[in-house]
């Protein structure tokens, strides 16, 4: 075949798909987001026609012209018009889908462009919500094109829509994600952080049992397979327990996990690891391993798990590495952790109310579906240090735990993330790094592990499913008198993020409203199912769905406008927060902008912008509010270093990670603003444990609030040093280049708000919900980069709409994940989503850099209740479970209609 104009001599292996063949030939712009033709990340042109190369046999491309994203660029200086358009509209975030999007778009006819929902039905983007992609294709730039020349943007100011510095690499397929450096050695790679030789491949044999004891493992047949280098089992595992969840304080999570455990607690848990010369060999060897299991009784839902006499998943109490009892003593009733609080007297509050509303709400298990799956490549460098190149949000926390588990000094391990293809909290876990470290230490050779999409569903983490009972009482004028929450979260087989998610779930959902009488009871429960973990919103979306739905119902019961009800009861600027514990919270509420947000959304809905409803469909509007504390309460540190460069520019070394959240762009702006240079003159290097001081990492929406503050402080310190040097009469040409460090301890917390509004139409005959208008107003403080913030909000709303309307990881009664491929899961494509109008309240945060508040997670949280409230307004039916799939809506509406008919006949 001819690839990008060059003839290829190699023959593909029997059965090899075009995607893997092209990647092996070095065309790593061809990405892998699935294995089944569902995501479009692998799109290439075959004789000018776009194909999903993962579905196309490489042998059938013989004699044909193949074009990848690398071949789309006409020459070194001129991008393809579609690449230009994606840059101008910033039609990407993490960039993992972008090459496929561009390849599909570049082949569209005018007629196809006129029907984008159909034209892009084979391409998934998990980050953007498609707003900027649609703009790119429709030729609507979001940034000034003359600011995005190859050398980077030239607009250096806070509040400017500076484009992402990685943009040119993203749209040309040059951006290197972890797996992209795996096929070659450092000598052959342009990337200095590549392994010294092409890596071996690791595959995992996984448990078919929900709960079992491994009696024996026989790997003799597997080891006899030529090309198999090692088989690792529980006998090879370090004895140190850990949590896959990574937090600033490791004791935040129970120590309940081993690299390879002799007890398996969910279908899909690691049983053995095979290291071999190729992926195919490693998979074949997994099939040759004989494992004898002693099956144990399993519990696959929280009610069974908490029943008297239920089998215990973790009968031994968790202890910290110091030998202290963990705060999460597993045992009784499989309860991983529980929280009970009461301030005032909730029952008295309900007794004093003119109306009380109580209902139980249920949220489902959903998956992050970051388009890049978890991937790690490990090796020993020339000095013998262990290097892990990995797709993580938390490089320093990975390094620290790998060191503890394997007994290594911190200076003997380096963790590098570089570009990460989406995270959403799912990469705040150690799911691949530990087993790769074990394999490298055992074999002495570079080793790569790339999870498949099926493994992401069956063995990575999900959002915690929750059952939330809300009881609210209020007087006739709409004043809340009592608020009670009872929450049960299913944390799955391990307690990673179980305590943190539970804590967060009952925090801002409760503190957002003033009420003297509050009561909370909550528990996270172990079950023999795939573990839950961190996911954008961190538990809050589940409880906000319940509370904001209940607020809506209570307001209706009192004949009070739901928005007015919220205005009356929402926390006001300067008021103290109360989470029901009776303890004062160290969180500033001075900058609250929620009332502005409510005004903006109400006005937008009243203006009736958006689509017209189809004839005969019921229509309605709904709003919901969510609050977010700006920094996690458990501690979060940021450290940055800013240095002069010999070329007169500046380098910023930041510990936080870039995974499409835009931090590298904003850090560039922060440094430029402080040092008075152009943003293009600041190069940002992130996520490398060798290049900056310890940083807790990119979670909890801290990339700007904490890491950005550290960067501003480093830049200020450097500015002072430069001024001092100038005062002494010297300059950079006279001597050594200056650098300075900045630190943020993450203790100054405030709150941010998001308010979502929807206008929907609902078809009773089919159950379809069509979003006619979507608007979100955000209390984001100073808007550092309007285009990036808009993109974050659009993406958050889109991801939340997917979870509200379609997405569900289905687990059967035996504990087996049934949803194993993307097409069964229904990540929204462009056709599924409305445009979301994004509005900014006018606020300034007292602590964030230049007054900015975080806005990575917050846009997700109010979406599901706003949608449910709009559907309630349209249909009169309160839906209390997610997702609001067509079949559910249809059967519910039909049942209600039948009941109404029966009642009218009786009358």
Interacting residue ranges for ligand FES, rule: CB under 6 A: 19, 32-34, 37-42, 52, 54, 92-98, 125-128, 371, 422, 660
In the block, residue with structure tokens 């303890």: 583
Per DSSP, 325 falls in state: B
Structure tokens at 886: 């067509």
Report the relative pairing of strands 466-474 and 480-492 from DSSP bridges: antiparallel
Q: Which helix (H) or strand (E) holds 772?
A: strand 769-779
Query: Buried b / exposed e across 547-580, counting CB within 10 Å, b at 16+?
Result: bbbbbbbbbbebebebbebbbbbbbeeeeebbbb
Per DSSP, 34 falls in state: -
Strand arrangement, sheet containing 638-644: 682-686, 650-654, 638-644, 739-744
To 10 degrees, the CA torsion angle through 465, 471, 476, 477? -50
Q: Which helix (H) or strand (E) holds 413?
A: strand 413-416
In the block, residue with structure tokens 């099926």: 454
Report the relative pairing of strands 6-7 and 2-3 from DSSP bridges: antiparallel
SS3 470: strand
SS3 788: helix
Q: Find the farthest-apart pair of alpha carbons in the chain and give their distance in angstroms, rounded.
A: 97
Q: Which helix (H) or strand (E) holds 774?
A: strand 769-779
Could you tell me the smallest distance in angstroms from the CB atom of residue 30 to ligand FES? 9
Do 415 and 169 contact (CB within 8 A), yes or no?
A: no
Could you tell me the smallest distance in angstroms from the CB atom of residue 12 to ligand FES? 16
Could you tell me the smallest distance in angstroms from the CB atom of residue 28 to ligand FES? 13
Separation between Cα atoms, residue 663 and residue 166, nearest integer Å: 11
Structure tokens at 270: 């690691």
Q: Shortest CA distance to 72 belongs to which of 4, 122, 10?
A: 4
Do 748 and 705 contact (CB within 8 A), yes or no?
A: no
- Angle, vertex CA 759, rays to CA 610 and CA 113, nearest 5: 40
- Angle, vertex CA 826, rays to CA 825 and CA 829, nearest 5: 155
595, burial (CB in 10 Å: exposed 0-12, middle 13-18, buried 19+): middle
Separation between Cα atoms, residue 796 and residue 368, nearest integer Å: 12
Separation between Cα atoms, residue 330 and residue 216, nearest integer Å: 27
Could you tell me the smallest distance in angstroms from the CB atom of residue 100 to ligand FES? 8
The count of residues in the chain is 907
Phi, psi of 115 (to 5 degrees): -130, 70
- The neighbour count for residue 762, using CB atoms within 10 Å, is 25
With respect to ligand FES, which residue has the nearer C-beta, 417 or 671? Answer: 417
- The neighbour count for residue 297, using CB atoms within 10 Å, is 11
CA atoms within 13 A on the CB side of 156: 16
Structure tokens at 872: 């309630």
User: What Rg, from alpha-carbon coordinates, does the chain have?
Assistant: 27
CA distances from 33 to 123, 364, 372 (A): 10, 23, 6
Separation between Cα atoms, residue 832 and residue 607, nearest integer Å: 24
Euclidean distance between the first and final Cα of the chain, in Å?
76
With respect to ligand FES, which residue has the nearer C-beta, 33 or 199? Answer: 33
Structure tokens at 93: 């975030």
Do 94 and 127 contact (CB within 8 A), yes or no?
A: yes
Separation between Cα atoms, residue 72 and residue 552, nearest integer Å: 52
How many Å separate Cα 314 from the centre of its chain?
A: 28
Please list the residues that pair with 200 across neighbouring strands.
Answer: 447
Q: Which helix (H) or strand (E) holds 520?
A: strand 518-526
115: region left, alpha or beta (phi > 0 left; psi from -120 to 50 alpha): beta
């Amino acid at each position: 075949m001819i690839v990008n104009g060059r003839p290829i001599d190699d023959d593909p292996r029997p059965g090899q798909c075009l995607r893997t063949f092209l990647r092996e030939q070095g065309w790593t712009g061809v990405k892998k987001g699935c294995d089944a033709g569902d995501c479009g990340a692998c799109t290439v042109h075959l004789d000018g026609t776009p194909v999903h190369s993962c579905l196309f046999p490489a042998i059938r491309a013989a004699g044909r012209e193949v074009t990848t994203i690398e071949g789309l660029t006409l020459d070194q200086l001129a991008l393809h018009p579609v690449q230009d358009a994606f840059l101008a509209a910033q039609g990407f975030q993490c960039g993992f889908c972008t090459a496929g999007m561009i390849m599909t778009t570049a082949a569209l006819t005018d007629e196809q462009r006129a029907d984008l929902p159909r034209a892009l039905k084979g391409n998934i983007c998990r980050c953007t919500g498609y707003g900027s992609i649609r703009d790119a294709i429709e030729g609507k730039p979001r940034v000034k094109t003359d600011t995005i020349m190859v050398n980077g943007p030239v607009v250096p100011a806070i509040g400017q829509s500076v484009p992402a510095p990685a943009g040119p690499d993203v749209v040309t397929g040059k951006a290197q994600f972890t797996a992209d450096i795996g096929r070659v050695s450092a000598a052959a790679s342009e990337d200095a952080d590549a392994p010294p030789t092409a890596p071996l491949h690791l595959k995992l044999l996984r448990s078919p049992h929900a709960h079992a004891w491994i009696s024996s493992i026989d790997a003799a047949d597997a080891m006899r397979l030529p090309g198999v280098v090692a088989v690792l089992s529980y006998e090879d595992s370090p004895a140190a327990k850990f949590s896959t969840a990574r937090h600033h304080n490791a004791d935040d999570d129970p120590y309940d996990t081993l690299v390879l455990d002799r007890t398996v607690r969910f279908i899909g848990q690691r049983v053995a690891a095979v290291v071999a010369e190729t992926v195919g060999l490693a998979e074949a060897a997994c099939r040759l391993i004989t494992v004898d299991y002693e099956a144990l009784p399993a519990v696959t839902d929280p009610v069974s798990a908490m029943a008297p006499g239920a089998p215990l998943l973790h009968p031994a109490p968790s202890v910290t590495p110091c030998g202290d009892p963990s705060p999460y003593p597993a045992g009784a009733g499989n309860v991983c952790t529980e929280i009970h609080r009461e301030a005032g007297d909730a029952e008295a509050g309900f007794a004093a109310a003119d109306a009380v509303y109580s209902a139980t709400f249920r949220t489902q298990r959903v998956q992050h579906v970051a388009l890049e799956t978890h991937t790690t490549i490990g090796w020993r460098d020339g000095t013998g240090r262990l290097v892990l190149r990995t797709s993580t949000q938390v490089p320093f926390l990975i390094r620290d735990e790998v060191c503890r588990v394997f007994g290594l000094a911190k200076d003997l391990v380096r963790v590098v993330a570089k570009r990460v293809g989406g995270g959403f909290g799912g990469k705040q876990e150690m799911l691949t790094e530990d087993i790769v470290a074990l394999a490298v230490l055992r074999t002495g050779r570079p080793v790569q592990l790339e999870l498949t999409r099926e493994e992401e569903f069956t063995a990575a983490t999900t959002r915690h499913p929750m059952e939330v009972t809300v009881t609210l009482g209020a007087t006739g004028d709409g004043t809340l008198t009592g608020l009670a929450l009872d929450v049960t979260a299913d944390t799955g087989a391990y307690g990673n993020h179980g305590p943190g998610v539970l804590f967060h779930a009952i925090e801002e959902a409760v503190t957002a409203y003033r009420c003297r009488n509050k009561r909370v009871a909550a528990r996270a429960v172990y079950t023999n199912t795939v573990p839950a973990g961190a996911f954008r919103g961190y538990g809050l979306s589940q409880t906000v769905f319940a509370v904001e739905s209940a607020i809506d119902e209570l307001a209706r019961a009192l004949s009070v406008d739901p928005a007015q009800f919220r205005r009356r009861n929402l926390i006001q600027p300067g008021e103290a927060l109360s989470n029901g514990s009776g303890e004062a919270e160290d969180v500033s509420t001075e900058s609250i902008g929620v009332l502005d947000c409510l005004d903006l959304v109400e006005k937008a809905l009243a203006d009736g912008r958006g689509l017209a409803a189809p004839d005969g469909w019921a229509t309605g509007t709904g709003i919901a509010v969510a609050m977010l504390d700006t920094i996690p309460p458990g501690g979060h540190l940021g450290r940055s270093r800013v240095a002069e460069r010999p070329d007169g520019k500046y380098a910023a070394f930041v510990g936080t990670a870039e995974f499409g959240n835009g931090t590298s762009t904003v850090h560039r702006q922060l440094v430029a603003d402080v040092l008075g240079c152009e943003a293009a003159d600041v190069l940002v290097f992130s996520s490398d444990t060798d290049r900056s001081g310890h940083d807790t990492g990119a979670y909890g929406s801290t990339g700007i609030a904490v890491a950005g503050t550290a960067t501003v402080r480093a830049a200020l310190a450097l500015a002072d040093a430069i001024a001092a040097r100038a005062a002494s009469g010297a300059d950079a040409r006279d001597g050594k280049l200056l650098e300075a460090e900045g630190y943020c301890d993450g203790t100054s917390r405030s709150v941010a708000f998001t308010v979502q509004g929807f206008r929907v139409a609902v078809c009773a005959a089919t159950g379809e919900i069509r979003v006619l208008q979507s608007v979100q107003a955000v209390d984001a403080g100073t808007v550092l980069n309007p285009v990036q913030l808009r993109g974050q909000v659009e993406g958050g709303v889109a991801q939340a709409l997917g979870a509200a309307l379609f997405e569900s990881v289905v687990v059967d009664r035996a504990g087996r994940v049934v949803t194993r491929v993307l097409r069964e899961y229904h990540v929204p494509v462009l056709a599924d989503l409305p445009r979301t109008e994004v509005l900014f309240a006018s606020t300034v945060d007292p602590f964030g850099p230049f007054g900015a508040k975080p806005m990575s997670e917050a846009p997700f949280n109010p979406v599901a209740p706003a949608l449910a409230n709009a559907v309630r307004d349209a249909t009169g039916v309160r839906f209390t479970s997610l997702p609001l799939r067509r079949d559910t809506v249809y059967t519910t509406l039909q049942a209600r209609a039948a009941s109404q008919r029966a009642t009218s006949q009786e009358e």
